[in-house]
């Protein structure tokens, strides 16, 4: 998506400027042409030499080059760019951008830019929540600029809070999504992700190791291609990036089922990625079960509803349903059985026997089986790439005669 795209990378004077080197590297690796513009104080944090070496282009900081008198045209740069990303963006630069204070090359170019502008703030937590910063960021949003929200975590001040610049990989993802082909515009997709937690008592549950990474990657991929996504997710530790994703957090299989049954009739496609617990305790203790009991407590389990199977029974002509199968043996046979029994149009098989596939990893190795009899085997890939393949295959099924 970023191949041959012209990207202006604006760097301002914050400690997170060291991450701009990785960002430039990733953008260049993705095929983009990157022109770095630094504010004068950014040069105190990272050298122009580092940035020009990584991008293969001289860095611009001044309105003109002192020894040659050559003028750096902010107007030409503004027209050249397909996107401008300012990372890190300090409170000072955000304030200047919000109020048109064009006293350096970066803000002047910002005012001339016709392309979309992405702003990745980075600052201390108190600066971040100061009404002045909040107001300025809102102003940038109102100008149509995209704010790449900072993450929570330990800051340079050693305080913990919101203000860490988003990781370069995620900034690249936001840009990639922006340029992605919008072939799912007008479609509504339901996705389940993560584990389910089945309560034993107020402090204990039965759960599993599902990280939710695969389901969230599919949600981001579908949303970046223009779909409206309803993501029904069990408890996981992942943030949603695309505003087209509506997150419906649930805990138990029952709650997941209720949310899915309500949503599926409005959707074109359901993608069942969740690792739903097969069993739940038959009742939940209202108070914490105490260790001092004479007898070891016995937890009686009852079967959980099969969400995919329920949706398979509800499925109407024109709707699609996709399942996942995580198998340890007889993989192909079991996956195709599930495809049939749950009335799926496609199933994505991953084997726990494959290194790098399954729970918690950032990679996956899958084989896709379609109800029409096609088999698509892929090598080990990142979950983002697998998500791309899954969506491509769903689109190809929708076009099958």
Question: 240: Cβ–Cβ under 8 A, 6 or more apart, which residues?
Answer: 216, 219, 220, 231, 247
Which is nearest to 150 in space by CA: 115, 124, 131? 124
Least separation in angstroms between CB 219 and ligand C5P: 14
Stretch of 82-90, 132-140, 240-248, 319-327 contacting ligand C5P, by CB under 6 A? 319-327
Contact pick of 323, 331, 350, 388 for ligand C5P (by CB under 6 A): 323
Q: Is 121 in the site for ligand C5P (CB under 6 A)?
A: no
Least separation in angstroms between CB 338 and ligand C5P: 5
Least separation in angstroms between CB 349 and ligand C5P: 10
CA 73 – CA 109 distance, rounded (Å): 8
* Separate counts of helices (H) and strands (E) for the chain: 13, 23
Instruction: Select 43 or 254, whichever has its Cβ closest to ligand C5P.
Output: 254
Instruction: Select 41 or 310, whichever has its Cβ closest to ligand C5P.
Output: 310
196, HSE (Cβ side, Cα atoms, 13 Å): 26
Instruction: Select 350 or 363, whichever has its Cβ closest to ligand C5P.
Output: 350
From residue 270, how far is each of 110, 181, 261, 346 by CA, in Å? Answer: 41, 21, 11, 11
- Which residues share a beta bridge with 272? 192, 323
Least separation in angstroms between CB 308 and ligand C5P: 4
CA 24 – CA 172 distance, rounded (Å): 9
Q: How many CB atoms lie within 10 A of CB 288?
A: 11
Distance between terminal CA atoms of the chain?
A: 30
Instruction: Select 174 or 253, whichever has its Cβ closest to ligand C5P.
Output: 253
Torsion of CA 131, 109, 33, 87, to 10 degrees: -20
Query: Binders of ligand C5P among 275-304, rule CB under 6 A?
Result: 276, 304
Q: Is 338 in the site for ligand C5P (CB under 6 A)?
A: yes
Least separation in angstroms between CB 45 and ligand C5P: 46
Query: Binders of ligand C5P among 79-98, rule CB under 6 A?
Result: none
Q: How many CB atoms lie within 10 A of CB 46?
A: 22
Least separation in angstroms between CB 277 and ligand C5P: 7
Query: Binders of ligand C5P among 4-43, rule CB under 6 A?
Result: none
Question: 19: Cβ–Cβ under 8 A, 6 or more apart, which residues?
Answer: 87, 88, 165, 167, 168
Stretch of 67-75, 172-180, 318-326, 393-401 contacting ligand C5P, by CB under 6 A? 318-326
Instruction: Select 163 or 323, whichever has its Cβ closest to ligand C5P.
Output: 323
Query: Binders of ligand C5P among 173-192, rule CB under 6 A?
Result: 192
From residue 344, how far is each of 217, 278, 365, 372 by CA, in Å? Answer: 21, 19, 20, 11
Q: Is 308 in the site for ligand C5P (CB under 6 A)?
A: yes
Question: 305: Cβ–Cβ under 8 A, 6 or more apart, which residues?
Answer: 253, 254, 257
CA 399 – CA 320 distance, rounded (Å): 12
| Secondary structure E strands in 76-125 | 83-89, 117-121
Which is nearest to 220 in space by CA: 174, 186, 169, 258? 174
Instruction: Select 53 or 328, whichever has its Cβ closest to ligand C5P.
Output: 328
Contact pick of 221, 306, 331, 345 for ligand C5P (by CB under 6 A): 306
| Residue position matching structure tokens 């022109």 | 35
Number of chain positions touching ligand C5P (CB under 6 A): 14
Contact pick of 244, 307, 386, 390 for ligand C5P (by CB under 6 A): 307
Stretch of 49-57, 233-241, 270-278, 379-387 contacting ligand C5P, by CB under 6 A? 270-278
Instruction: Select 93 or 233, whichever has its Cβ closest to ligand C5P.
Output: 233
Least separation in angstroms between CB 306 and ligand C5P: 4
Q: Is 272 in the site for ligand C5P (CB under 6 A)?
A: yes
Q: Show which residues are catalytic.
A: 208
In sign, the C-alpha dihedral spanning 21, 26, 29, 35 is negative
Instruction: Select 304 or 393, whichever has its Cβ closest to ligand C5P.
Output: 304
Query: Binders of ligand C5P among 237-266, rule CB under 6 A?
Result: 253
Q: What is the contact surface with ligand C5P in residues (CB under 6 A)?
A: 192, 253, 272-274, 276, 304, 306-308, 323-325, 338
């Amino acid at each position: 998506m970023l191949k041959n795209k012209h990207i202006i990378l604006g760097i301002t004077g914050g400690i997170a400027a060291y991450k701009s080197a990785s960002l430039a590297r990733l953008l260049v690796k993705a095929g983009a042409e990157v022109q770095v513009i630094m504010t004068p104080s950014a040069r105190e944090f990272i050298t122009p030499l580092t940035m020009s070496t990584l991008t293969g282009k001289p860095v611009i900081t001044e309105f003109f080059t002192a020894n040659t008198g050559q003028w750096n045209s902010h107007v030409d740069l503004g027209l050249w760019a397909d996107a401008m990303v300012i990372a890190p963006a300090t409170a000072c630069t955000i304030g200047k951008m919000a109020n048109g204070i064009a006293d350096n090359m970066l803000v002047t170019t910002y005012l001339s830019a016709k392309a979309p502008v992405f702003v990745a703030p980075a600052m201390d937590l108190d600066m971040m929540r100061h009404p002045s910063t909040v107001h300025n960021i809102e102003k940038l949003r109102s100008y149509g600029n995209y704010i790449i929200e900072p993450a929570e975590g330990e800051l340079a001040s050693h305080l913990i809070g919101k203000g860490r610049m988003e990781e370069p990989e995620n900034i690249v993802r936001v840009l990639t999504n922006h340029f992605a082909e919008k072939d799912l515009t007008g479609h509504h997709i339901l996705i389940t992700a993560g584990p389910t937690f089945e309560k034993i008592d107020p402090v204990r549950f039965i759960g599993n190791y599902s990280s939710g990474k695969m389901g969230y990657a599919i949600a981001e991929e579908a949303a970046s291609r223009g779909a409206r996504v309803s993501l029904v997710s069990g408890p996981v530790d992942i943030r949603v990036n695309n505003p087209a994703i509506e997150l419906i957090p649930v805990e138990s299989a029952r709650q997941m089922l209720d949310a899915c049954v309500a949503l599926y009739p409005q959707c074109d496609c359901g993608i069942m990625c969740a690792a739903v617990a097969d069993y739940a305790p038959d009742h939940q203790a209202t108070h914490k079960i105490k260790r001092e009991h004479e007898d070891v407590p016995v937890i009686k389990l009852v079967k959980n509803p099969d969400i995919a199977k329920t949706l398979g029974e509800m499925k109407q002509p024109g709707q699609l349903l996709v399942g996942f199968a995580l198998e340890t043996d007889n993989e192909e046979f079991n996956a195709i059985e599930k495809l049939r029994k749950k009335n799926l149009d496609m199933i994505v098989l991953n084997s726990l026997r494959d290194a790098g596939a399954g729970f918690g990893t950032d990679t996956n190795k899958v084989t896709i089986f379609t109800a029409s009899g096609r088999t698509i085997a892929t090598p080990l890939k990142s979950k983002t790439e697998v998500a791309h393949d899954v969506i491509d295959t769903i689109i190809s099924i929708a076009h099958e005669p």
